[in-house]
Amino acid sequence: MHNRQSSVVYEQFDDRTQQHEASSLGMWIFLATEIMFFGGVFTGYTVYRGLFPTGFSEGSHLLNARIGALNTAVLIGSSLTMALAVHAAQTGKRKLLMAFIVSTMVLGGVFLYIKFFLEWMHEYHEGLAPGLHFTYAGPQAGHVAMFFVFYFILTGIHATHMIVGEGIMVVLLVTAWRGGYSAERYNPIEMFGLYWHFVDIVWIFLFPLLYLYGAHF
């Protein structure tokens, strides 16, 4: 690096503030498209729940709200470690940054493990997976199936986002290990942080809508 400045500010930007605002703006516009992506399925959920409230609360009652609450706590924890990773990057602490990226990856992994092995596998074996293995009977069976369609689509696309996030974190971790980030250059960490927190916000809405709707029966 014969010219240190060039490694910090790319040539199309005047200064670091402009560069930082440009990447933040780009990331937020991407997140706005993500809001509309999830928003469409949320709207579908709202409409069908409004049409079939009994079946939806019956379906929601079949989910384990305790596991849902535990997973919410795990994901909020991973958001904390991600925020601390950004803080470590801002203050130029390389080892701390790596430690917090690893913590975020582990907590995200715990969430996905619970989601896949303790929930999806369980629901599949219980016969609550529409189209694959659905044996739930009763007058509301069709509407309960509709609830589980939304459950698997919503938690499925949410988990897909988390798996993508885990992949990006591998890249960030390797780059951090090689010393690619400093107190002057940490935009990728911060932008990924925005993505990870967004995924957390999606779950914050999924938890009450899917797990808690039928809890009081």
Interface with another protein (CB under 8 A): 15-17, 20-21, 24-25, 28-29, 31-32, 35-36, 39-40, 42-43, 46-47, 50-54, 65, 69, 72-73, 76-77, 79-80, 82-84, 87, 90-91, 142, 183, 190, 193-194, 197-198, 200-201, 204-205, 207-209, 211-213, 215-216
CA 51 to CA 29: how far, in whole Å?
A: 33
β-sheet bridge partners, residue 128? 134
Token pair belonging to 65 = 């709200």
Q: How far is the CB of 50 from another protein (least distance, A)?
A: 6
* Nearest to another protein of 6, 91 (CB atom): 91
Q: How far is the CB of 208 from another protein (least distance, A)?
A: 4
CA 81 to CA 101: how far, in whole Å?
A: 7
Token pair belonging to 75 = 């994901």
Q: How far is the CB of 57 from another protein (least distance, A)?
A: 10
Token pair belonging to 188 = 């990728």
Question: ∠ CA(140), CA(150), CA(67), 5° rounding?
Answer: 90
Q: How far is the CB of 25 from another protein (least distance, A)?
A: 6
